[in-house]
Amino acid sequence: MKYLKRKIDTYLVEWKESVNKKPLIVKGARQVGKTEAILNFATKHYEKVVKINFAEEPHYKAIVQDGYSADAILKNITILNPKVHFEEGNTLIFFDEVQEFPDIATSLKFFRIDGRYDVICSGSLLGIHYHQIEHNSVGYKEDYNMYSMDFEEFLWAKGYSDATIDGLYQHVVERSPFSALEHKVFMSLFQDYCITGGMPEIVSQYVEHETFEGVLEMQQQLVLDYKEDVRKYVHGIEQTRIINVFNRIPIQLAQDNKKFQISKVASGAKNKDYWGCIELLQDAGIVNICYCMNFPELPIKGNYDDSKYKLYYADTGLLVAQLDEESQVDFRENQNMGTYKGALYENIVAEALRKSGAELFYYKRQDSTLEEDFFMRTRWSLVPIEVKARKGQSQSMRTLIGSDKYADISWGIKLTSGNVGFANQILTLPYFCSFLLSRYLKNFE
């Protein structure tokens, strides 16, 4: 499979060149491309690459038998494989699938102090006992959260350049409509991205063959793999609870009230019994949690109710794979999702915001119909974001902007299938611009 350009590529180069770099842990769900990205980087920037996969080569767990010092581990690696050679200052040691051997994290402190060799760890987060790894390596490592491909990376895979991305961004900054051709092409590409999701193997298949053939089967297999991970790493009643939550996400997103209701997961289910399961799915990079704000005002952090939340899949391809077969066919052939259409675009926007570094918050006032899908902020203001599946008025957003009750809100963003526009303090953007929102608001004057 041809390697697809990823955003982590730039980060890894910067990490290598940093003066005070620490061992790196690349976190993320399975099949988001962690191993491929690390090896692509390693082969270009190091003379020696020593890769140890604890899942495929469990005998390497013995390398810590004589302690966790760099010298002890290197000696035991060469005992197990005499063909391995280490070159000071030009060797990367890559510990992969560390969820199978979290004890290796204890060695990161000693590799950091030793300083002769660069170290990267990676693994599927559903299996990583991350609290143990954090405890064993606190202060002596840095983390990178890797996700499946966002729409910008998808465009790279399709052959579009950074200049094209900058052109899309300028339309947002200048609030200038796209030409009919631009809008048609990028909306079509975005709909394709909604279907494929961002898993690099699936995107690569789609790009190479220019067809969706085989995509659904790959997505469904990934769902099965995630469930198998749950069975492998989680035991007892928690196993059933996690899978029940995972399976109920599409059903609850399809409802008008998209708030995730534990009571509908299983008979007698209570939030306190399931919260650990939901946190595990989030830590694993499989779901995104969107919390309900207590009131739409700054600051956002600390201003939310952690008992009220919506759940989205971290990759929209998982949502498509979970739909019934008729909905999948309808969407692929007619770009029509019926009752799921709103849920699909809301999920893809949540995914875009999370991948760009934003945390997810929404608001629903209990005593009225006032509700807003997401909120972000500039330096000085709170910005409501509404995802419109159909044409219509944005009454909640107009209320938030126009009422004196919401002093931190003076304008908002509406995402639709239409073109760029600005009226009544509402900036309307096509769905495909959602990946640019964090960049836009960060630089907003």
What digits encode the pLDDT tens for the residues 19-51? 989 999 999 999 999 999 999 999 999 999 999
Residues 6+ apart with CB under 8 A from 193: 151, 154, 348
The two three-digit tokens of residue 242, written as one number:
């996690």
User: DSSP letters of 143-206?
Assistant: EEE--S--HHHHHHHTT--HHHHHHHHHHHHHT-PPPHHHHHHHHHHHHHHHHH-S-HHHHHHH
User: pLDDT for 378-429, tens place per residue?
Assistant: 999 999 999 987 766 789 999 999 999 999 999 999 999 999 999 999 999 9
Question: What is the radius of gyration, based on Cα positions, of the chain?
Answer: 23
User: pLDDT for 301-356, tens place per residue?
Assistant: 889 999 999 999 999 988 988 887 777 677 767 666 555 667 888 999 999 999 99
The pLDDT mean for the chain works out to 92
User: pLDDT for 56-104, tens place per residue?
Assistant: 999 999 999 999 999 999 999 999 999 999 999 999 999 999 989 999 9
What angle do helix axes 341-355 and 237-253 make, rounded to 10 degrees? 120
Helix (H) or strand (E) holding 30: none
Residue 227, number of CB atoms within 10 A of its CB? 15
User: pLDDT for 197-210, tens place per residue?
Assistant: 999 999 999 999 98
